[in-house]
Structure 1
Amino acid sequence: MARESILVGRGDAPCELLLRRANRHGLVAGATGTGKTVTLQVLAEGFSRAGVPVFCADIKGDLSGIAAPGKPNPKLDARAAEMGETDFAYEACPVVFWDVFGEQGHPLRATVAEMGPVLLARMLELNDTQEGVLSIAFKLADDEGLLLLDFKDLRAILNHVAERAEELRAEYGQVSKASVGTIQRRLLMLEQAGAEHFFGEPALSLEDLMLTTPDGRGAVNVLAADKLVHSPRLYATFLLWLLSELFEELPEVGDPDKPKLVFFFDEAHMLFRDAPRALVEKVETVVRLIRSKGVGVYFVTQNPLDLPLPVLGQLGNRVQHALRAFTPMDQKAVRSAAETFRPNPKLRVEETITQLGVGEALVSTLAADGTPTVVERARIAPPRGRIGPLTAEERKAALASSPLAGRYDTPLDRDSAYEALQGRATTATDAEPAPAAPTRGANPWGGGVGGDPWWRTGGAPAPRPPIPTTVPRAPTRRTAAGSGRRAPAAERDPGPGGVLGDIIGGGGSGGGRSRGRQSPAEAMATSMARSLGTTFGRKIGGAVLRGVLGSILKR
């Protein structure tokens, strides 16, 4: 029998999260040490058992234990019996580990073009003038067919813009060499913080975040963020980029029986700290609209006031752990949290929030008719996986047996803006062999060997073909500054995801990802077709794009 809900905890009655309402987003809040991480683990395990893939950040390393079965514990057994969990058993979840730095998980990359000038400017902490120069660099790359893939491409195009500042002034606007110098210094600082590992290829394919096992369980994607969180700008910008990519990429599905993917934002306050108002507004819009894509977004933070009120108002499923009320600000947070719940005549919510013990929480979820349930003081259900981190040896073994082993581990460095501007770009016939994509061995989750389709994508586009054994040097069907993997505007879905995804992702003229890689012959044909349409498309598309971005960023 298909699961219809996840047991979160139990008060006077069971507190269940209905899968049909799980894409209405949620909040897990509470002071440090009150049990938020265990609650997150319980929810992630529940979604996985229901066949829903999960993505979550592991800030302290504790969440990695979800990949191993829990150790028998009389207290946990007693709590499970108290909850009425007749099928309770200690078991591991199918987990895929990721790491921007490639140390504790599969390398997680995006191209510079996919990140776009808006989010990149936030990551670099640029002012309006410097952000304008960065946008000019992206637009010039788009117009001249230059691929922006990694840091050296971005540096090369910035130097190119500075050298042609006088020539570009009439069409693109004023370019200050001092602004270019500032951007280059910020890039150096970001590189020293390790961000250069994030930009490049092979870039993340969203389908690989939506794996399910042959027995129907959803993969739990765990991002190792204990090091990443020390670069809060990079951490926040990466998560915002990923959210915008999901919004742009996934098709409209309305209200499915269960989500296609659930996304947990841990340390959510970092997402909005010092963010430009225009960017915050667009994130708020994505949170409102991504529900219809079948994606549930759950924010995990200490204080509900860490989130903008329009975002907080979208979170229908809430688990509120204890808050402290030692200062006037703390007291305000307690009152605000209490006012968001549907009252329970048996509880004085404002007082109860400060009295909750570890593993207790106030829980209110959405009922079948979409209305919030009466808030319950509940004991949180016990997790089935290990509470605590994996050992280094266990993590290494998990990576070796991962279904994605080898797919992202070897970086690719094909000809792009840097090589073109250095005059060292080669033709497709001169392409040098790149490391061959390794074939998969026996699937640790079952279901075949080699290239057998042992996983499904849960409604996402069809999986991309394997990485080719040679790297084409001719342009692919990707557009230039939007080159990361964005298809031409004429080939995109013109629905609400296209424009909004471009504004947040900031790609030049691209909106959706191309679905695969072309052969050199196809790439050459595409290049010829692009050259025929460049003159007309540049005049019309460039004017529209500059108008849209200008109206957004100058508000």
Structure 2
Amino acid sequence: MAADRIFVGGGGEGYGAPQHLLLGYANRHGLVAGATGTGKTVTLQVLAEGFSAAGVPVVLADVKGDLAGLALPGRAEGKLHESFARRAATIGLDLQYAACPVAFWDIWGRQGHPIRATVAEMGPLLLSRMLDLTEAQEGVLNIAFRLADDEGLPLLDFKDLAAILAFVAQNTGALSKTWGHVAPASVGAIQRRLLVLENEGGAALFGEPALDLADLMRVDAAGRGMVNIIAADRLMQSPRLYATFLLWLLSDLFESLPEVGDPEKPKLVFFFDEAHLLFDGAPKALIDKVEQVARLIRSKGVGVYFVTQNPADVPEAILGQLGNRVQHALRAFTAKDQKNLRLAAQNYRANPRFAIEDAIREVGTGEAVTSFLEPKGVPGVAERTLVRPPSSQLGPITADERAALIAASALRGKYEQVIDRDSAHEMLARRAEAAARDAEAAEAAEARAAEEEREFRSARRYSGGSRSTRGYDGTAPKPRSGKGRSDSVGEVFAKSVARQLGSKTGQALVRGVLGSLFRGR
């Protein structure tokens, strides 16, 4: 096959010409759609193999564990091989089984290298989406991030986020004077959502060492692009966490990579499986961000491919930017299904040989209606296509095989050990301790002054004198100094803690609000 294209499939009797994805237009994004069981996962696997063979690194989420088979060659035996061999002969493919170079990743570090981001890198917009916050709650979260920036409090891990929110909760009155009303109820709602996220295991996403994007863009010694497989079977149990995590990854690529224009082949290809999760219930601000990233990231050499059941799952503004399309069968059982089928057919360049709507309804498993960009970026005519069989193993691998591949990885040991740097949690803990010491000193001084007052009154009773309005040394008492409203947030914090530490009730309150700050010290 030519070096400038990926062979996706071909045809026999009743099918069209061989279909190729041109590497020069692969960064114009794409769509793989179809009902459950129609072959989307195999098509994704075929495309990942093609990009890897062309030296293009790939990032994909393995929702069911099936895509781990990319790490092993297919087997030239059994009924599956016989089926593959027949299809290869039909479409004129010389089928050679081979594995891809693979790196396994997992947020929880069980099925691959741990993958983390700092809280600051995630940012308030994506965190708000992950936590399903209201607009008012998102505003409070933005204040917390701004406060951390102004006070030099790095937000790295989950403890840092909890600590800064605890501080905001304790000082809503003072903060409202600077940044507008900060409702205690909103802060409490965010803290409860954080607790839910922690219970779901989402805290493991935040921390250091954070992911180095260069580790996703590697090639092996033979020049093949690394296929980065993110274990998503557990991640899918928290759909918002899954969608937000992948969107963060895409956004981080967008922010970090330089402009390259239209390269001969992409620098990286990103597959977003179960793409409907990204848009379900998403606020307009988030959809606008996805649209912006999809529109601009191609000039940075990154191709984004959405994999979903129905093209209608993807907003129209984003769907219009997906130039390379593989449409597996859609089922039209209801009026809504029939409408979606008609809309899907309208997204393809017409072919006079067949009705696209009928073809989308009729294609079998492993078949699709395809349209790939041609030279000059012109959409290709829709064709009925038999998708080529994969060269790598179809289906999951064993736990032992996965463990052996992880142990042999060049990245082994780089991300496994968590680093806990000095950050907001530790800094606020030190401030609390300093405020506690100051409060104890103030309480001791107040006790001494009270004792002196009692002694003074006792002495005056025996001498018959009266209390002077002047100081003990005969001089006028000095007026108390005040700073007005110009205190820094750090001073507000210290004063607030010191006031509350003046009583046992106050100490209990501080421990309740900032308890996480003092654990483990």
Between Structure 1 and Structure 2, how many residues are aligned?
A: 426
**2:292 is the counterpart of 1:273:** no
CA deviations on 1:290-318 (whole Å, 9 max, x unpaired) are 11000000000000000000100000000
Tell me, in whole angstroms, the C-alpha distance in 2 between the residues paired with 1:281 and 1:307. Answer: 13
Partner of 2:239: 232
> Shift in Å at residue 279 of structure 1?
1.2
SS of the aligned residue for 1:291 comes to helix
Partner of 2:4: 4
> Shift in Å at residue 322 of structure 1?
0.4
Residues 263, 298 of structure 1: 8 Å contact kept:
yes
> Shift in Å at residue 266 of structure 1?
0.2
**2:27 is the counterpart of 1:55:** no
Partner of 1:82: 90
**2:101 is the counterpart of 1:97:** no
106, 119, 136: which one aligns with 1:112: 119
Instruction: Rate the CA distance shift 1:271–1:242 in 2: closer, same or farther, 3 A.
Output: same
> Shift in Å at residue 3 of structure 1?
1.2
Q: Report the AA paired with residue 319 of structure 1.
A: V
Structure with the greater alpha carbon radius of gyration: 2
SS of the aligned residue for 1:298 comes to strand
Partner of 1:69: 73
> Shift in Å at residue 78 of structure 1?
2.8
- Identity, in percent, stands at 64
Instruction: Rate the CA distance shift 1:425–1:218 in 2: closer, same or farther, 3 A.
Output: farther
Q: What are the equivalent positions in structure 2 for 1:209-224 lying under 5 Å apart?
A: 209-224=216-231
**2:41 is the counterpart of 1:37:** yes
> Shift in Å at residue 77 of structure 1?
2.2
> Shift in Å at residue 424 of structure 1?
7.6
Residues 6, 16 of structure 1: 8 Å contact kept:
yes
> Shift in Å at residue 215 of structure 1?
1.1
Q: Report the AA paired with residue 9 of structure 1.
A: G
Q: What are the equivalent positions in structure 2 for 1:364-383 lying under 5 Å apart?
A: 364-383=371-390
Partner of 1:182: 189
Q: Report the AA paired with residue 275 of structure 2.
A: A
CA deviations on 1:321-342 (whole Å, 9 max, x unpaired) are 0000000111011101111111
Partner of 1:143: 150
Partner of 2:368: 361
Q: Report the AA paired with residue 84 of structure 1.
A: G
Q: What are the equivalent positions in structure 2 for 1:134-173 lying under 5 Å apart?
A: 134-173=141-180
Tell me, in whole angstroms, the C-alpha distance in 2 between the residues paired with 1:379 and 1:91. Answer: 21
> Shift in Å at residue 127 of structure 1?
0.9
Tell me, in whole angstroms, the C-alpha distance in 1 between the residues paired with 2:37 and 2:213. Answer: 33
Tell me, in whole angstroms, the C-alpha distance in 1 between the residues paired with 2:298 and 2:17. Answer: 28
Residues 153, 417 of structure 1: 8 Å contact kept:
yes
Tell me, in whole angstroms, the C-alpha distance in 2 between the residues paired with 1:50 and 1:33. Answer: 28
> Shift in Å at residue 94 of structure 1?
0.2
| Normalised TM-score (structure 2) | 0.80
CA deviations on 1:447-506 (whole Å, 9 max, x unpaired) are xxxxxxxxxxxxxxxxxxxxxxxxxxxxxxxxxxxxxxxxxxxxxxxxxxxxxxxxxxxx
Q: What are the equivalent positions in structure 2 for 1:254-265 lying under 5 Å apart?
A: 254-265=261-272
Q: Report the AA paired with residue 198 of structure 1.
A: L
CA deviations on 1:37-90 (whole Å, 9 max, x unpaired) are 00000000000000000000111000100100001112212322333334x310
Residues 31, 323 of structure 1: 8 Å contact kept:
yes
Tell me, in whole angstroms, the C-alpha distance in 1 between the residues paired with 2:174 and 2:329. Answer: 61
Tell me, in whole angstroms, the C-alpha distance in 2 between the residues paired with 1:42 and 1:310. Answer: 27
Tell me, in whole angstroms, the C-alpha distance in 1 between the residues paired with 2:432 and 2:256. Answer: 31
Tell me, in whole angstroms, the C-alpha distance in 2 between the residues paired with 1:316 and 1:254. Answer: 17
Q: Report the AA paired with residue 94 of structure 1.
A: P
Partner of 1:252: 259
SS of the aligned residue for 1:27 comes to strand
Partner of 2:348: 341
Q: Report the AA paired with residue 424 of structure 2.
A: A
Partner of 1:421: 428
Partner of 2:339: 332
Tell me, in whole angstroms, the C-alpha distance in 2 between the residues paired with 1:227 and 1:310. Answer: 31
Tell me, in whole angstroms, the C-alpha distance in 2 between the residues paired with 1:383 and 1:313. Answer: 29
Residues 52, 261 of structure 1: 8 Å contact kept:
yes
CA deviations on 1:153-196 (whole Å, 9 max, x unpaired) are 11111111222222222222221222111111110000000101
Q: What are the equivalent positions in structure 2 for 1:312-331 lying under 5 Å apart?
A: 312-331=319-338
> Shift in Å at residue 425 of structure 1?
11
Flag structure 2 segments of 5+ consecutive residues without an equivalent: 434-487, 489-521
SS of the aligned residue for 2:207 comes to coil
Residues 2, 50 of structure 1: 8 Å contact kept:
no
Tell me, in whole angstroms, the C-alpha distance in 1 between the residues paired with 2:380 and 2:172. Answer: 60
Tell me, in whole angstroms, the C-alpha distance in 1 between the residues paired with 2:229 and 2:122. Answer: 21
Q: Report the AA paired with residue 84 of structure 2.
A: L
Q: What are the equivalent positions in structure 2 for 1:489-528 lying under 5 Å apart?
A: none
Partner of 1:19: 23
> Shift in Å at residue 233 of structure 1?
0.6
Q: Report the AA paired with residue 68 of structure 1.
A: L
Residues 59, 224 of structure 1: 8 Å contact kept:
yes
> Shift in Å at residue 377 of structure 1?
0.3
Residues 415, 425 of structure 1: 8 Å contact kept:
no
Residues 146, 416 of structure 1: 8 Å contact kept:
yes
> Shift in Å at residue 285 of structure 1?
1.2
Flag structure 1 segments of 5+ consecutive residues without an equivalent: 427-534, 536-555
> Shift in Å at residue 220 of structure 1?
0.2
Tell me, in whole angstroms, the C-alpha distance in 2 between the residues paired with 1:292 and 1:322. Answer: 32
Tell me, in whole angstroms, the C-alpha distance in 2 between the residues paired with 1:91 and 1:425. Answer: 59
Tell me, in whole angstroms, the C-alpha distance in 2 between the residues paired with 1:19 and 1:114. Answer: 31
CA deviations on 1:96-155 (whole Å, 9 max, x unpaired) are 001111111111100111111111011111111111111101000000100101111111
Partner of 1:544: none
Partner of 1:285: 292
SS of the aligned residue for 1:52 comes to coil
Residues 123, 237 of structure 1: 8 Å contact kept:
yes
Q: CA RMSD in A?
A: 1.5
Tell me, in whole angstroms, the C-alpha distance in 2 between the residues paired with 1:312 and 1:263. Answer: 16
**2:350 is the counterpart of 1:307:** no
